Structure 1
Amino acid sequence: MAQTLRKKKTSIGDLAFRIVNSILLAIIALVCLLPFVNIIASSFASTQEIIEKKFILFPTTFSLDAYLYIFSTKTIFKGMGVSIGITVIGTLVSMALTALMAYGLSRKYLHGRNTINFIVVFSMLFSGGIIPTFLVVKSVGLIDSYWSMIIPGAINAFNLIIMRNFFQSLPDSLEESAKIDGCKDFGVFFKIMLPLSLPSIATISLFYGVAYWSSYMNAILYLNDSEKWPMQLLLRQIVIVSSGMQGDNSVVDVVPPAQAIKMAVIVIATLPMLIAYPFVQRHFVKGAMLGSVKG
């Protein structure tokens, strides 16, 4: 009888916890979601409504002026193509280099492994800075080249450590069995380790993809030719011009309300990542946790 009452009390406590937890999570979700809903709604709102209201959830008058303004020139489509190309190629290059280096550093028999690991961790805390990096990029002839958007940040130390830890978590017996069967190091890496590391690859690919898609600082520093500007830099220029600040007016002509343009720019810049995220969502948490357990 006592055990039955205890179970009943426990079940009531669990139910109360779930209710309170669900309410709190719903409130937190609304706090996170409402600003983004406001951004989307404001990007479709009319000029009068934006002036009259400070917070919009549902526009009373639907308007596409901000988006028509942004896409009124072919320059933005070219910039979008540049951004997509840099994101795709950059992510592939970064994943290839990161995976190869992470696998090498995860092998205990690699000579100088501890020294290289120390240098990687050290680079997370101290870097050369913008000016030395710019001088290096200039000295190797990458100014005004798309590769200047990829090579300087091809390997991220944090992502490298996560992937190295993931490879370290895999049993050594897998490599030993493969080598007994005649596999070389590259065979072990491509035939065994990579197929097993798909969650980690999906997670880190998303990290790299978001970084390349959102990056505009490298474009500001290294791309002098406006014809090579990625979409992020063009959107920044559009915001500057629409706000009445000094900028390159050749990008755009007639200016709708600056607030609507800013909101539309946020939507355009965020939408591709929101579309890509569901495809890697099931790997995301698993990949991040697997790579962060072992130090």
Structure 2
Amino acid sequence: MIKSRGTKIGDWIIVFFCILCILACLLPVLNILARSLSSADALVKGEVILLPVDLNFDAYGMVLGDSKYTWSLLWTAILTVITTLWCMFMTIMCAYPLTYDNLKGQKTITAIIIFTMYFSAGTIPTYLLLNNLHLLNNPLVLILPNSIGVFYLIIMRSFFYGIPESLKESAELDGAGPLRVLVNVYLPLSTPVLATLALFYAVGRWNGFSDALMFMNDRTYYPIQLLLYNILNSISSIEVATQEGFSNPGLSQTIKSATVMFATIPILFIYPWLQRYFISGVTVGAVKG
């Protein structure tokens, strides 16, 4: 197919804006990486932009040599896996029954669920509720309150709606019950949306820190992002930085950058494995409402 001149120009404009978006996302990461691998003196002099100056790994050695960093990373990885599995289980168990049109109160249940996507009780009522449930300062407070993302639930339900009804009817004729239909028919056909939503849940938990900040006092269960948040705030204060051994301003900036990379790199490795499911997982699930 021969493209017209106007179409080619439009394609080049789209490519240009895509490149700008890529650079807007990539350049800050390269800058942080370069700062984490540069010497303290180079940072103080402002010589570091996109490439390391006086390449060294001292900052990473200090970060990896501190048990609080490594434990926080390990705990966050464990928390992310558990949260993702639990949230996916709850989302599937909630979305699947809503695909049955003969479910009593289906529309009412759906309306109530969607209502919670736009309106919430707020921080203080949530705090009081979790306190009454004895979940404050409990690792479960990082898992249970966010068991279901309503938007993800809608995507999952819409994807299930897109599966041909004849497949379910055939399984039911063979004697399969609702649970067996879910396990043997729906889930095997839902790999794209399952992988996509699992990634969304995992990234959300990995990057989350506000719930731990408000509901956790035990530093043992601080996720890596909250630890990073506290470190960045601490290093911003000269007095605290001195107490922590970061009396050299350049060294504190190097440690800060290394900590950011330390918390960012692990989750980035998940994207290439699940990237091919993004488009089919989200767009197909959005075809029907």
Asked if Structure 1 and Structure 2 have the same fold, meaning a TM-score greater than 0.5 normalized by the shorter chain, the answer is yes
Matched with 1:70 is: 63
- The answer to whether 1:194 aligns with 2:194 is no
Matched with 2:82 is: 89
Q: 1:94 to 1:249 in 2, by over 3 A?
A: farther
Matched with 2:107 is: 114
- The answer to whether 1:150 aligns with 2:143 is yes
Q: Secondary structure at the match of 1:212?
A: helix
Query: Which residue identity is paired with 2:275?
Result: Q
**Structure 1 position 263, deviation (Å):** 2.3
Q: 1:166 to 1:204 in 2, by over 3 A?
A: same
For residues 104-135 of structure 1, the C-alpha deviation after alignment (integer angstroms, 9 at most, x for no partner) is: 11221111111111111111110011111111
**Structure 1 position 220, deviation (Å):** 1.5
- The answer to whether 1:102 aligns with 2:95 is yes
Do the aligned partners of 2:34 and 2:48 also contact (CA within 8 Å) in 1?
no
The one of 259, 269, 274 aligned to 2:263: 269
Matched with 2:34 is: 41
The one of 155, 160, 168 aligned to 2:161: 168
**Structure 1 position 51, deviation (Å):** 2.0
Do the aligned partners of 1:241 and 1:248 also contact (CA within 8 Å) in 2?
yes
* Aligned-pair Cα RMSD in Å: 2.3
Query: Which residue identity is paired with 1:178?
Result: A
Inter-partner Cα distance in structure 1 for 2:59 and 2:66:
13
The one of 125, 130, 136 aligned to 2:118: 125
**Structure 1 position 171, deviation (Å):** 1.3
Structure 1 stretch displaced more, 117-126 or 265-274: 265-274
Q: Secondary structure at the match of 1:197?
A: helix
**Structure 1 position 249, deviation (Å):** 9.3
Matched with 2:273 is: 279
The one of 216, 222, 226 aligned to 1:233: 226
Do the aligned partners of 1:216 and 1:232 also contact (CA within 8 Å) in 2?
yes
Do the aligned partners of 2:38 and 2:56 also contact (CA within 8 Å) in 1?
yes
Query: Which residue identity is paired with 1:211?
Result: G
Query: Which residue identity is paired with 1:294?
Result: K
For residues 13-55 of structure 1, the C-alpha deviation after alignment (integer angstroms, 9 at most, x for no partner) is: 5555444543443343223321221111112121122122276
- The answer to whether 1:294 aligns with 2:288 is yes
Inter-partner Cα distance in structure 2 for 1:78 and 1:115:
45
Q: Secondary structure at the match of 1:141?
A: coil
**Structure 1 position 94, deviation (Å):** 0.3
Do the aligned partners of 1:102 and 1:163 also contact (CA within 8 Å) in 2?
yes
When normalised by structure 1's length, the TM-score is 0.89
When normalised by structure 2's length, the TM-score is 0.91
For residues 227-267 of structure 1, the C-alpha deviation after alignment (integer angstroms, 9 at most, x for no partner) is: 222222222222222222687999x5445533333322322
Do the aligned partners of 1:103 and 1:164 also contact (CA within 8 Å) in 2?
yes
Do the aligned partners of 1:70 and 1:238 also contact (CA within 8 Å) in 2?
no
Aligned pairs, how many?
287
Query: Which residue identity is paired with 1:42?
Result: R
Matched with 1:4 is: none
Matched with 1:215 is: 208
